[in-house]
């Protein structure tokens, strides 16, 4: 069996990335900031929708971008058929979309599934952290109306400085209120460890590795050590916190650059309060031995984002 010393993890794992960084740059921006937390290793990342030429957030563009990634997200590379015509590909995409709860709902009802957030979190982890998804959990469902159990995604990347494989378990929460989103995220993380899901999901990677490279799968199985994890793996949680918020006083029709500059200024002014909310959760969390990557991403309306994703999936 190959060992870490003989496996080119940076190259091989990066080949599994499927999220389009070009589309990420077109739809999503970020606000640069620095902050450290007490008693935990955590990074916070402030993201926002970019704005179109009329100064409006690119909500539909993001929803369409996520829908365009649906096959890459939901189907393992070994299970993607060799299709020779555009018609065959269209049918395969339609069949893949039927695996999602959002398409099992009545069209005239608003989307209440968590799939828009789960897709967005996958997109951010791949495009920002460079950690590819390693299990396509959607294709394991036997009923499209079912929720996917456990975390909202399993991702991995090689950390060249620390020489370990970072494993990321995803947790996506879209709420009107940011405090409620944080509370639910940390409750879910606590339950994830308390009910033994961590070991179960690590063993899923060894059995259901998304890539078609069997040699790399053997190396990953060695690293994870059948769910313990092994000495070469480090556990992290990647959390998307989506919530309702927008900047005030933005002039309708103003150019995108001016709108974005003012939006970022106001968003950055909110940073101390968001950091304090997060520190409060860390203070009572029983999982502080793990690493955290927290993506804050406000929407004018999280429900509007869910509905836009549902429309893009039809």
User: In angstroms, rounded to a whole number, what is the distance separating the alpha carbons of residues 128 and 151?
Assistant: 19
Using alpha carbons, select from 303, 238, 241, 311 the residue that is nearest to residue 67.
Answer: 311
Q: Which residues of 90-104 are buried (b: 16+ CB within 10 A; e: fewer)?
A: eeeeeebbebbbbbe
Helix (H) or strand (E) holding 82: none
Of 141 and 99, the one with more pLDDT: 99
pLDDT digits (tens, 9 = 90+) for 250-272: 887 888 999 999 999 999 999 99
User: Residue 213 belongs to what domain range?
Assistant: 4-313
Distance CA(233)–CA(202), nearest Å, equals 10
Within a 10 A sphere around the Cβ of 162, how many other Cβ atoms?
9
* pLDDT per position as a tens digit, 185-236: 999 999 999 988 888 887 787 777 777 677 777 777 766 654 455 567 889 9
Q: Count the neighbouring beta carbons within 10 Å of the beta carbon of residue 266.
A: 15
- Domain count of the chain? 1
> What pTM value is reported for the model?
0.88
Write out 157-178 in H/E/C secondary structure. EEECCCCEEEEEEEEEEECCCH
| Distance from C-alpha of 166 to C-alpha of 169, rounded to nearest angstrom | 10
């Amino acid at each position: 069996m190959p060992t870490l010393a003989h496996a080119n993890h940076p190259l091989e794992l990066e080949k599994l990335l499927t999220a389009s960084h070009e589309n990420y740059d077109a739809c999503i921006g970020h606000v640069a900031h620095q902050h450290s937390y007490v008693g935990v290793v955590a990074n916070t990342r402030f993201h926002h929708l970019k704005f179109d030429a009329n100064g409006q957030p690119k909500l539909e563009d993001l929803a369409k971008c996520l829908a365009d990634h649906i096959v890459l997200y939901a189907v393992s590379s070994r299970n993607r058929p060799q299709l020779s015509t555009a018609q065959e590909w269209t049918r395969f995409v339609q069949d893949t979309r039927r695996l999602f709860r959002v398409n099992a709902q009545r069209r005239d009802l608003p989307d209440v599934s968590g799939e828009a957030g789960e897709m967005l979190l996958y997109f951010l982890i791949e495009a920002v952290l460079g950690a590819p998804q390693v299990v396509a959990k959607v294709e394991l469902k036997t009923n499209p109306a079912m929720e996917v159990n456990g975390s909202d995604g399993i991702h991995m990347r090689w950390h060249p400085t620390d020489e370990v494989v970072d494993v990321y378990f995803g947790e996506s929460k879209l709420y009107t209120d940011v405090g409620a989103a944080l509370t639910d995220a940390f409750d879910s993380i606590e339950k994830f460890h308390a009910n033994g899901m961590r070991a179960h999901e690590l063993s899923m990677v060894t059995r259901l590795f998304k890539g078609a490279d069997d040699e790399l799968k053997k190396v990953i199985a060695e690293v994870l050590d059948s769910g313990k994890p092994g000495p070469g793996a480090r556990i992290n949680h990647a959390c998307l916190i989506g919530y309702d918020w927008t900047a005030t006083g933005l002039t309708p029709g103003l150019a995108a650059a001016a709108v974005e500059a003012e939006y970022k200024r106001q968003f950055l002014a909110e940073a101390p309060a968001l950091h304090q909310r997060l520190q409060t959760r860390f203070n009572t969390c029983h999982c502080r031995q793990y690493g955290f990557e927290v993506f804050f991403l406000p929407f004018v309306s999280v429900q509007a984002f869910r509905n836009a994703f549902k429309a893009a999936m039809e």
